[in-house]
Structure 1
Amino acid sequence: MPDSNERLVPRLRLKAGHAIALGPGKAQLLELIQQHRSISAAARALKMSYRRAWLLVDTMNTCFQKPLVLTATGGNQGGGAELSEEGLKVLMLYRQYEKAVAERPELVELATLLRDKPAP
């Protein structure tokens, strides 16, 4: 039986048609965009290319009714990005959903059925 401190961690992905509208990586990207106020800085923090981060943002903005990330182009003031009200709400709801699933009794029971030492 797994150590009582060890838990199963669900990785939730929300699909909209064939696209993944939101998942753990995109949620982390949203948090870092809000923290750094920049897609490029968030991408660097995740060790991913700006292009990859931009494509993920574009997918999220396309999947939801309103954009989750708002951007400002460069210039004298420099560019930047931040989460829209919708983006903040979606991120909060996603994190609440993750927490609720992680606390489900079924997940706790599944954890008790794991081997002591899972295969590498």
Structure 2
Amino acid sequence: MPNKKETAILVRPRIYIGDNATIGPGKIELLKALQTESSITAAAKYLKIPYKKAWNLLDALNKTFSQPVFESTVGGKGGGKTVLTPIGMQLIKSYEALEIKLNECVEDELLDIKKLTKN
């Protein structure tokens, strides 16, 4: 997410790909949590969402792209691990760059909207 300025008002885009696929702030935050936590369970707990929801969101992302955005290894001595693939890391980077550009482009409009609020 872009640095919060005094406005505390931001554009968080949702990208529609075809009729069935979307990428938005929730999926990006989940990917970032997964990158940090290396576990779907831990990422879901960190974001305070059910494991099943996290899995469904990640599965939807994997089905959207030509290659997986994450890969998991099953348990064993050290336990399982989930890592982002290069596509998953690029998705975060591209989304964050888009978010920054959008917020820079609409800064005046965001300030106008902010002036209309009670804060």
CA drift of 1:36 comes to 0.8
CA 1:112/1:64 → structure 2, altered by over 3 Å: closer, same or farther?
A: same
CA 1:98/1:78 → structure 2, altered by over 3 Å: closer, same or farther?
A: same
For structure 1, the residue ranges without an aligned partner over 5 or more in a row are none
Alignment of 1:118 onto 2:111: no
Please give the root-mean-square deviation of Cα atoms over the aligned residues, in Å: 2.0
CA drift of 1:113 comes to 2.8
Per-residue deviation, residues 1-60 of structure 1 (Å, max 9, x unmatched): xxx821531121111223343210111110110101111100000011111100000001
Alignment of 1:8 onto 2:3: no
- The structure whose Rg is larger is 1
CA 1:40/1:109 → structure 2, altered by over 3 Å: closer, same or farther?
A: same
TM-score (normalised: structure 2): 0.85
Contact 1:19 1:59 (8 Å CA) reproduced: no
Q: Give the match for residue 36 of structure 2.
A: 35
The residue type paired with residue 29 of structure 2 is: Q
Q: Give the match for residue 55 of structure 1.
A: 56
